[in-house]
Amino acid sequence: MKKLIFLMVAMTTAPIIAKENAWTPTLDLTKSKGLIDSERKLEVYQHGIKKEWGYETPQQDTFIVIHPKTKRKSAPLYVVLHSAGHNVFSCVKCTKQVGNHDIYHSPDNFYALYVDCRANRGDWWWGGMHAKDVNLTKKNSGLNPMPVELRVIDTVKWVIDKYKTDPERVYLSGNSMGGSGALGIGLRNGNIFAAIKANVPAGIEHVSERMGFSHKSWLNYADPPITIDYSAQNDGWSFGHERLVKVMNDRKYPLYLYWGPFGHANNHARIMEVNDLINSFDWLSVRKNEAYVAFSNASSNDKLPWPDNRSDKSSGQVNAFFRWKIISDEPNKITLSLHLTNPINLKTKFSIPEEATADISIRRIQNMKVAPGDILNWNYGEETGNTPAKATGKVKAGSWGLITIAKMAISVKPKILTIWK
């Protein structure tokens, strides 16, 4: 009898517990009209909180999903984090006009997800308004994500599952505060995002804390997404970029950085008058289930204006001209080509070198299992395969099995690199 009573109580309380922890966004049909000038379907969702996010009090939040213009199977997902001056609704309204926060504009053949952090002022993508508040920075310091960050990640996962988007092609973007949020949330979650792009991110404290920039030892997170950052040295919010560049370089993280004196701008046409490289890398073709190359210590990098030369009016770049292509990724071997972008294909005011050197690190390898300390062979030569390899050698895998080969000579003409056990 006691067992039966216990079972009845358990059956009675189980649905209550499930309901308490349930997170089911619901459609709000009253707020979707007039947000976009497009044939694309738009849906507004409202939701409460999950207990495990850690919010101290209940709150309601909103996110918006825009469908591809033409229905397609397994469409990519473009995720947008708005700036401090916007909320999710005004952010979406910006897409009515070209030049109005261009990074908010999603490709027509993608799903788009717009998340909000303005309705509840304790959020702001990392738990408070901005990085110049010393007390706030102290509150939000450390490796552990704040409730808003957990909410964003769960929202992305929910949309992937609900709309059956391609989980290997999820991209995170943001402007200003949303740009710093894209760096802080995106780099930490390489298991979700294929690539991220930040337009004039408002400080680097968020990413510095969550990625443990001050830690002497590397943290074993998933291989980070390929990162594109375009910032202006004459923008007060760009402070700290020298730290970002150094850590990304030293840890062999993938970074494409473009700068110039374009202020806290969001109009791509105007920014490109100062630095025409900001859209030169095809970040929306990156796949999470495909290996990539991270370039570091490149001879072609321009000198940073941060921290002491921010009055400099010149434009510059880090890693802007390097490209790769994965040819095969096998259990005991990976083969890829390396090259500099061709001046014929990339029209730019910048001078593209015929050859540059860089350390190259292979991340997100899919099939070849590499452990720290493994010794691997490599050769590097002409793409045709008819010419003997110009360089050969052995490389010892570093922390977490990362393969890095130093001072590779990379030219406009593609060359084949093969690495094998």
Residue 421 has pLDDT above 60, yes or no: yes
Burial class (CB in 10 A: 0-12, 13-18, 19+), 102: buried
All domains of the chain, ordered by start, with CATH?
A: 24-286 (3.40.50.1820), 290-421 (no CATH)
Query: How large is the average pLDDT for residues 335-343?
Result: 95
CA atoms within 13 A on the CB side of 219: 20
Token pair, residue 362, equals 């292979």
Question: 314: which DSSP letter?
Answer: -
Q: How far apart, in Å, are the Cα atoms of 248 and each of 13, 170, 195, 251, 338? A: 49, 21, 15, 5, 20
Res 129: pLDDT: 60
Q: How confident is the model at residue 371 (pLDDT cuts 50, 70, 90)?
A: very high
Residues 6+ apart with CB under 8 A from 5: none
Question: Model pTM?
Answer: 0.92
Q: What is the pLDDT of residues 167-215, one digit of tens each?
A: 999 999 999 999 999 999 999 999 999 999 999 999 999 999 999 998 8
Q: What is the pLDDT of residues 8-56, one digit of tens each?
A: 333 333 333 323 345 799 999 999 989 998 889 999 999 999 999 999 9
